[in-house]
Every structure is written in structure tokens, then in C-alpha cells.
């Protein structure tokens, strides 16, 4: 496995990105797929209000996934750069500290759900008619938070070692298992939205043991001992600061969802909430390949930056950007051409499908431009430049989408919510593109200084 880590500095970049990104795309896609499947079964089998209920809980699931990304991305950046320098001791400490932080976060999430579930859901926009179903779903998700957090951590560790392919099997198995368990718990056991949550938690939990086995085996490039589980201020601080932008980016999406839910509750009512519940899942699923490419490219940036091979970092940036934009454009085309087909998977309600088709076309109008932000953000994280990555993570959702939703909905009601998305995507791209150009020029100067012959 140590040879796989060295491959980050030698293998053809395009093939390397695809090899590292594919398991990440599958992993993130399966997490989004869990939510998609839940919504389809609940919408078809329990009802439109129940689908709105799990839509209200979606921000909570996003935050849990964000915690896993925070720990995993921070750990991966430290591990990749340490491997580039040959510092196996630091790499082991980073993994051990990541495991401890993940355990603490899982316990806190379960406690939060037990004692503060109802107020949290009311704040998230749950109305009286959807609150019981929303609580039944969220309570199980929070209690099983570790099944979302630890796969993200271990996936990042394996990817940092150049060995992300081992994560593919458990994620696929989990996705298939979720499809099978959802109807069993929802219809067979008549558990409604709680049954959908149990199916998701059990499906995610299946892979946790597999990840632990692969991280702990003797041939792993990074080994950690029990003493590495003890938190060290320097390692934990670096882990959190580097991973924080990933969490903030997902938390920003969660905050945006809360604001939109509350806004639609005023201007659109239950149907509009159900429409956004479906749209949010479809768009999140469509964006996962872009985030997968960003995550898969990160260890290549970090390893080669640590090794002083700046030309390879530039080449990785170019390949990652082309691939991410291409994947986003493919999703864009499908969603523009076939919006009713995607919406019909969730509901047979003609009003919801009609309103949803218009909303979906507007919302995804500028999705290809969305690829810029995660690619540049992951580059900053890999370099350990947490401040800039943090600022980028706030740009789209907090700085642009939320104000856009509040202003435009006041003038155009629910329609204003949908219009806010393409406007935010366009402005975000205008801000990020110059940053990418400046970073590429800086890396070229660094390469010339290190190797004038290039």
C-alpha cells in the first residue's frame, strides 16, 4: 500500500484522478442515494406531508455528513502531506485523532437528538402537521450518526494513501441494502418515516466494520496505535482547521435549506415544501460527482505539493476542473430535458409535478458553473490554507443564496426562491475564476524557482 501512496507522485494524472475520485463519487452518491430512496418510498407509500417531513430533516442529515467530511478531509490533508515528506509518525497520529474526534461527535449528535429534537425541527421549518413524522425520522438519524461520520473518515484516510478503491464495495452493498430495507421497514413493519430512517442507518452501518478492518490491517500505508487516539492539540487543531471549510460548506447548505423551508412555509405552503424536498435531493445527488472529483484530487495536490512537484499540482487542477465541469454539464442536460420524469419518481400528484418541473429547470440553470468552487476549495484545503477554503465555503450559500432567497421571495413569492440559485451560481463563478488563475500563476513561479529547467 506504500507503493500506492508513492503513485500519487508518479502515475498519469488523469487516470489517477479517476481512480481516486470514482470511489469517492460512489461513496458520496450512495449517501445522497439513501435520502433519495427514503423520499421515493415515503412519498409514494406514506404521503406528500410525510415527504415534506423528511425534507425538513434533510438539513440535519447534511450537518452529520458535514461533520464526517470535516474530520475526514482534515485528516486526509495531513496524511497526504506527511506521506509526501515520509513522516509516517505524524500520519498515524492524524488518523488516531480523527477516530477520537469522530467518536465524540457521534455521541454529541445522539444526545442532541434525544433532548433537543423537537425544538431543532421547529427551527428547521417543521409545521405542526409534519412535525411528528419529522421527529420520528430525525431521532433515528441522530442516534445513528456514527454510521455516517465514520465512513467519511475512513474513506478519506484510504484515499489519502492512494487506495480509495477499497471503499467501493461497502458503499454499493449499503445502497442496495437500503433499497431492500426501506419497503420492509416502511410497509412490512409499518414504521412510516421512522422505518425509512432505520433502513438508512442500518445500511450505512454495514460498511463501518469493513472500513475499520482496512484501516487497521498490517499492510496499511498508515498505521496508528492506541496512544494515537489521545488528542494532541497541534494535530487536532490542524485537522479541524483544515477540514472546517468542508463542514462549513455543507453546513451552509443546511442553513440555506432551513431558510428556504421557512420561506416556502410562508409563500408556498405544503406543496412548495414537498417540491423543495424533492428538488433538494435531486440536486444534491447531481452535485455529488463534482464533490467526488474534488475529494479524489485532494491527495494528489497535497502529496505533490509536499514533494515540491508544483507542475504536477497545476496539471491536477486542470484535469480535475475539466472532469468536474463535464460531470456537472451532464446532470444539467438531463435535469433540463426530463424534469417531469425525475419528479414522477417521488409522487403522482400532478400539482406537485407541474410546479416542480418549472422550479427544477430554473434551479439548475447554471449548475455547470458550480464546479469551480469545490475544485478550488479542495485545492486550498490540500495546501493547508484553511482561511481561503473557509471563505469559499461560505460564498455561495451564505453570502449569495440566502440573501437572494429573502430578497427575491419578497417580490416574486415562491418563484423568487428558485431564481436565487442560478444567480448565486453565476456570481460565485465570477469570484472563484480569478482566484484559480492567480493560484496557477503562483504555482508556476514556485516550480521555476525549484527547477529552472522546466
409-426 pLDDT, tens digit each: 999 998 999 999 999 999
CA 394/CA 289 separation, integer angstroms: 20
pLDDT for 448: 83
pLDDT for 168: 67
Task: Give the least confident one: 34-38, 184-188, 248-252, 281-285.
Answer: 34-38
Number of domains in the chain: 1
Backbone angles phi, psi at 350, to 5 degrees: -65, -35
Which residues are CB-neighbours of 144 under 8 A, at least 6 positions away? Answer: 197, 200, 201, 204, 205
CB 160 within 8 A of CB 84: no
pLDDT for 340: 92
Over its C-alpha atoms, the chain yields an Rg (Å, rounded) of 21
Per the structure block, which three cell numbers stand in for 400?
449569495
pLDDT for 219: 64
CA 130/CA 273 separation, integer angstroms: 11
pLDDT for 429: 93
CA 9/CA 5 separation, integer angstroms: 8
Residue with cell 461527535: 105
Say whether pLDDT at 192 is over 90. Answer: no
pLDDT for 57: 87
Alpha-carbon distances of 124 from 234, 248, 273, rounded to whole Å: 35, 17, 12
Per the structure block, which three cell numbers stand in for 330?
451532464
Helix, strand, coil percentages for the chain (3-state, nearest 5): 90, 0, 10
pLDDT classification of 7: cutoffs 50, 70, 90: confident
CA 265/CA 405 separation, integer angstroms: 13
Mean pLDDT of the chain: 84
CA 56/CA 247 separation, integer angstroms: 19
pTM more than 0.75:
no
The mean pLDDT of 153-179, rounded to a whole number, is 73
pLDDT classification of 453: cutoffs 50, 70, 90: low
Return the closest-CA partner of residue 276 out of 355, 214, 341: 355
The mean pLDDT of 66-95, rounded to a whole number, is 85
Q: Highest mean pLDDT: which of 12-16, 181-185, 216-220?
A: 181-185
Residue with cell 469551480: 372
Of 129 and 180, the one with more pLDDT: 180
The mean pLDDT of 103-121, rounded to a whole number, is 92
In sequence order, which ranges of 268-401 are alpha helices (DSSP H)?
Answer: 269-306, 310-337, 339-344, 350-363, 372-382, 386-394
pLDDT classification of 13: cutoffs 50, 70, 90: confident
Domain of 45 in residue numbering reads as: 2-450
Which residues are CB-neighbours of 230 under 8 A, at least 6 positions away? Answer: 96, 100
Q: Highest mean pLDDT: which of 15-24, 236-245, 361-370?
A: 361-370
Say whether pLDDT at 100 is over 60. Answer: yes
CA 295/CA 317 separation, integer angstroms: 12
pLDDT for 31: 65
pLDDT classification of 364: cutoffs 50, 70, 90: very high
CA 314/CA 326 separation, integer angstroms: 19
CB 256 within 8 A of CB 401: yes
CA 291/CA 2 separation, integer angstroms: 26
The mean pLDDT of 127-145, rounded to a whole number, is 89
- Read off the pLDDT of residues 208-218 as tens digits, 9 standing for 90 and up: 877 777 766 66
Say whether pLDDT at 393 is over 90. Answer: no
CB 324 within 8 A of CB 298: no
Say whether pLDDT at 162 is over 70. Answer: no
Residue with cell 484501516: 215
pLDDT for 350: 85
Amino acid at each position: 500500500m506504500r507503493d500506492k501512496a508513492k503513485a500519487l507522485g508518479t502515475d498519469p494524472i488523469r487516470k489517477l484522478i479517476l481512480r481516486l475520485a470514482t470511489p469517492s463519487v460512489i461513496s458520496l452518491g450512495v449517501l445522497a442515494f439513501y435520502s433519495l430512496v427514503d423520499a421515493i418510498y415515503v412519498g409514494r407509500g406514506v404521503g406528500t406531508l410525510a415527504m415534506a417531513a423528511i425534507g425538513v430533516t434533510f438539513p440535519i442529515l447534511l450537518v452529520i455528513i458535514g461533520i464526517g467530511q470535516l474530520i475526514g478531509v482534515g485528516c486526509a490533508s495531513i496524511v497526504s502531506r506527511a506521506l509526501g515528506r515520509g513522516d509516517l509518525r505524524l500520519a498515524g497520529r492524524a488518523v488516531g485523532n480523527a477516530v477520537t474526534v469522530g467518536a465524540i461527535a457521534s455521541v454529541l449528535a445522539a444526545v442532541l437528538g434525544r433532548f433537543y429534537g423537537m425544538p431543532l425541527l421547529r427551527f428547521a421549518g417543521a409545521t405542526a402537521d409534519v412535525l411528528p413524522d419529522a421527529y420520528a425520522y430525525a431521532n433515528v438519524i441522530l442516534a445513528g450518526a456514527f454510521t455516517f461520520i465514520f465512513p467519511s473518515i475512513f474513506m478519506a484516510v484510504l484515499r489519502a494513501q492512494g487506495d480509495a478503491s477499497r471503499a467501493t464495495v461497502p458503499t454499493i452493498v449499503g445502497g442496495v441494502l437500503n433499497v431492500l430495507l426501506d419497503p420492509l421497514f416502511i410497509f412490512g413493519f409499518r414504521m412510516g418515516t421512522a422505518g425509512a430512517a432505520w433502513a438508512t442507518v442500518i445500511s450505512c452501518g454495514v460498511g463501518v466494520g469493513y472500513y475499520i478492518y482496512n484501516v487497521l490491517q498490517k499492510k496499511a500505508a498508515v498505521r496508528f496505535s492506541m496512544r494515537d487516539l489521545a488528542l494532541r492539540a497541534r494535530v487536532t487543531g490542524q485537522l479541524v482547521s483544515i477540514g472546517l471549510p468542508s463542514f462549513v460548506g455543507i453546513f451552509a447548505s443546511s442553513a440555506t435549506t432551513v431558510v428556504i423551508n421557512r420561506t416556502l412555509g410562508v409563500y408556498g405552503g405544503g406543496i412548495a415544501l414537498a417540491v423543495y424536498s424533492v428538488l433538494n435531493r435531486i440536486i444534491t445527488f447531481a452535485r455529488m460527482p463534482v464533490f467526488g472529483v474534488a475529494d479524489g484530487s485532494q491527495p494528489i495536490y497535497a502529496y505533490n505539493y509536499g514533494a515540491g512537484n508544483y507542475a504536477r499540482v497545476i496539471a491536477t487542477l486542470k484535469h480535475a476542473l475539466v472532469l468536474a465541469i463535464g460531470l456537472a454539464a451532464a446532470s444539467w442536460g438531463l435535469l433540463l430535458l426530463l424534469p417531469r420524469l425525475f419528479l414522477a419518481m417521488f409522487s403522482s400528484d400532478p400539482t406537485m409535478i407541474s410546479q416542480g418541473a418549472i422550479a427544477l429547470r430554473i434551479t439548475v440553470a447554471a449548475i455547470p458553473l458550480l464546479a469551480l468552487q469545490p475544485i478550488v476549495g479542495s485545492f486550498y484545503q490540500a495546501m493547508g490554507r484553511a482561511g481561503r477554503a473557509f471563505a469559499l465555503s461560505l460564498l455561495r450559500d451564505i453570502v449569495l443564496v440566502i440573501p437572494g432567497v429573502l430578497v427575491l421571495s419578497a417580490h416574486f413569492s415562491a418563484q423568487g426562491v428558485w431564481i436565487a440559485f442560478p444567480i448565486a451560481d453565476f456570481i460565485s463563478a465570477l469570484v472563484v475564476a480569478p482566484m484559480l488563475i492567480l493560484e496557477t500563476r503562483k504555482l508556476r513561479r514556485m516550480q521555476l524557482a525549484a527547477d529552472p529547467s522546466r
